[in-house]
Amino acid sequence: MDQYVVFGNPIAQSKSPLIHTLFARQTSQSMHYAAQLVPLGEFRVAADAFFADGGRGCNVTVPFKEDAYQYADQLTERAKLAGAVNTLKKLDDGLVLGDNTDGEGLVQDLLQHQVTLADQRILLIGAGGAARGVILPLLAQQPSSITITNRTLAKAEALVDAFAAHGPVNAVALDELAGGQYDVIINSTSASLSGQLPGIPESLIQPSKVCYDMVYGSGPTTFNQWAQQLGAKVVLDGLGMLVGQAAESFMLWRGLRPGAKQVQRELRRLMQ
């Protein structure tokens, strides 16, 4: 049976084995997907052993996405620009391809929720690895602009420099956002995980707006509760992105696109 794995540290919390097992069942694929805790500094050892044993592909999560980027023999364009790899695939010629499906997972989740991205003004809050990974796939949807804002403005400006050749990106300081108009507001910071808000003005949230928090929990995230109270039209959390990125990885490995909605519903039910 074809073997797949997710590498991370910690890993016990990972939902990837469940998601891929559900995908495999849904699409009648004969495959096994496990989770493996990798000691810090030992990503290469673990990946070498996995592929030497005949492993077909793996997902890579915190804190090894940069190690996986270094490990890959070839990189997709989106992985190159993300500077991080969450999916490795052993190719027929024996080389290992590195991809990053996180951003496409976000885009697919937004599109599945009937959120329009083309010609829309996107506000991306945060300028860490999570933000970097979604910019190219968002630009591929041809928004009218992506404005990046961050507590540390210099990091937002550095991302603008990295992506300016690929589309309309700009940086604005948090305290200069008031009065701006953004159609889709995406929180890529981890602020909600510690019960904090990322610091954008309340005035940006209006009834017509879409708000997306890239993190998720058993209930609405801190950012989403805030956006909902302020009347945002559509409020989504990162569970859909998690399932979406998994679906993209599955597609890369198996050549089939699994249905994400059903799996998302199942995960939501299990998290209650």
Give the annotated binding-site residues for NADP(+). 77, 126-130, 150-155, 214, 238
Tokens for 267, please give them: 């995960």
Q: Is 124 in the site for ligand ATR (CB under 6 A)?
A: no
Q: Is 130 in the site for ligand ATR (CB under 6 A)?
A: yes
- Choose, by CB under 6 A, the member of 103, 137, 143, 198 that binds ligand ATR: 198
DSSP-derived secondary structure letter, 9: S
Instruction: Between 108 and 188, name the residue whose CB sits nearer to ligand ATR.
Output: 188
Contact in structure between 149 and 200 (CB atoms under 8 Å): yes
Q: Is the dihedral of CA 191, 68, 245, 140 positive or negative?
A: positive
Percent helix, strand, coil in the chain, to 5, is: 45, 20, 40
Instruction: Between 105 and 258, name the residue whose CB sits nearer to ligand ATR.
Output: 105
Residue found under tokens 């190159």? 80
Instruction: Between 80 and 151, name the residue whose CB sits nearer to ligand ATR.
Output: 151
Tokens for 70, please give them: 């270094």
Q: Report the length, in residues, of the chain.
A: 272
Q: Which stretch binds ligand ATR (CB under 6 A): 27-35, 37-45, 95-103, 184-192?
A: 184-192
DSSP-derived secondary structure letter, 10: S
167 closest CA partner among 145, 183, 134: 145
Binding site members for shikimate: 14-16, 61, 86, 102, 216, 245
Q: Which stretch binds ligand ATR (CB under 6 A): 26-34, 106-114, 185-193, 250-258?
A: 185-193
89 catalytically annotated: no
Interaction site with ligand ATR (CB under 6 A): 126-131, 150-152, 155, 188-191, 196, 198-199
Catalytic residues: 65
